[in-house]
Amino acid sequence: MEIKTLICDLDGTLLAPSGGVLVSDRVRDALIALQEQGMTIVLASARIFQGVLPLARQLQMDRYHGYIIAQNGTLGYDVSRDQTLFVHAIEQTDSLALWEMARQMGLDFGIAQPSYMVASGYSEGFALDRYNCAVDYLLTDTPQRYVREEIWKCSASGDKATVDRSFDRFRTQVEARYPYRVIRSTDTFVDVIRQGCDKAGGLKELFAQIGGSFAQAAAIGDGDSDAQMIRESAWGVTLENGSALCKRHAKQIVPSYEQEGCLTLFSQLLSR
C-alpha cells in the first residue's frame, strides 16, 4: 500500500482543541520531514480558512505543494499557488435573514468573509473562535452595510446555556427553509454551511482537481466530521480522544492529542 497523501484534522488531532494556530516543534518537524520525502499534506478542518493558513505556512506547505480543506469541506485551497480551488458560498440575502432568525432566539450571529467576520456581538463562542483562528471581528447592528464579499460560512454564538436552549429550534428552522446545514461545532459555537458539504466531500472535490484518491491516502482525525474521511482512506487513524464513530471506522488508534499521538502515525509513515 503506497501512501502519497496525508490528511490531517487540526483541533484534537495535531493540537489541543482551541489550541491556537500553530503546532509544536515536534509535530512541525515530522510533517516537514514527510513532505521532504514526497508526501502531500492536506489540512482538513472545520475552522474558517484564516484559522488554517498560519499552520500551513508553519509547515512550509507553500514550498511543498500542500492543500487546505476548510470550513467542513466548503473551501479548497492550493497553498503553493495561493489559489482558491473551490468555494461553496452562502447567499448574502440568506445570511441577513439567518442573522435576524438567530438574534430572535438570543444568539449572536456572524457572517464570515475573506477579510473579516461581521457579527452582532462578541459572546463566548466568538471570543474563543477569534483566539483560535486569528479572525478579525467587526461588531454591528447593521450587517448589510459591511457584508460586501463572498460569504464563506455563517456562525452563531452564545454561552453554553443559550446555545443549549436555542440550537435545536435554530437548526430545524434553518434546515427546513434554506439549503444549509447547521452544525454544533462546540458547546458555544454553531456553524451554518451549504447542505451536502463535509470534509470527505471536499477532499473528493480536491482529488478531482489535483489527482490522487483516498486509496493512496492516510487520514487522522478525532471528531465525527472526520469519520467519513477516516473510513474511506487506505490508512484511517484516530486518537484515544477520538469519537466513538471515528474509532468504529479507524484501522489504527494512537495515543491522544495530549501525548501528541499523531507522531505515532507520522513516525510509521517516515519509516516506510
User: Given this model, what pLDDT does residue 157 score?
Assistant: 96
Alpha helices in 14-91 (DSSP H): 25-36, 53-58, 61-64
Say what the pLDDT of residue 185 is: 82
Q: What is the pLDDT of residue 20?
A: 84
The backbone torsions φ and ψ at residue 3, rounded to the nearest 5 degrees and listed phi first, read -100, 120
Question: 3-class SS at 268?
Answer: helix
- pLDDT value, residue 158: 95
Q: For residue 128, count CB atoms less than 10 angstroms from its CB and return exposed for 0-12, middle for 13-18, buried for 19 or more.
A: middle
Q: Enter the pTM of the model.
A: 0.91
Write down the pLDDT at residue 106: 97
pLDDT of residue 131: 82
Q: Taking Cα atoms as reference points, which of 212, 238, 207 lies closest to residue 225? A: 238
Q: What does each of the 272 residues of the chain score in pLDDT, given as a tens digit?
A: 799 999 999 999 999 987 888 999 999 999 999 999 999 999 999 899 999 999 999 999 999 999 999 999 999 999 999 999 999 999 999 999 999 999 999 999 999 999 999 999 999 999 988 888 888 999 999 999 999 999 999 999 999 999 999 999 999 999 999 999 998 888 899 999 999 999 999 999 999 999 999 999 999 999 998 999 999 999 999 999 999 999 999 999 999 999 999 999 999 999 98
Give the H/E segment covering residue 137.
strand 137-139
User: How many other CB atoms sit within 10 Å of the CB of residue 130?
Assistant: 16
Q: How high is the pLDDT of residue 72?
A: 92
What sign does the CA torsion over 184, 69, 24, 41 have? positive
Q: Is 248 helix (H, G, I), strand (E, B) or coil?
A: helix
Measured CA to CA, the distance from residue 30 to residue 218 in angstroms comes to 15
pLDDT in the model for residue 100: 97
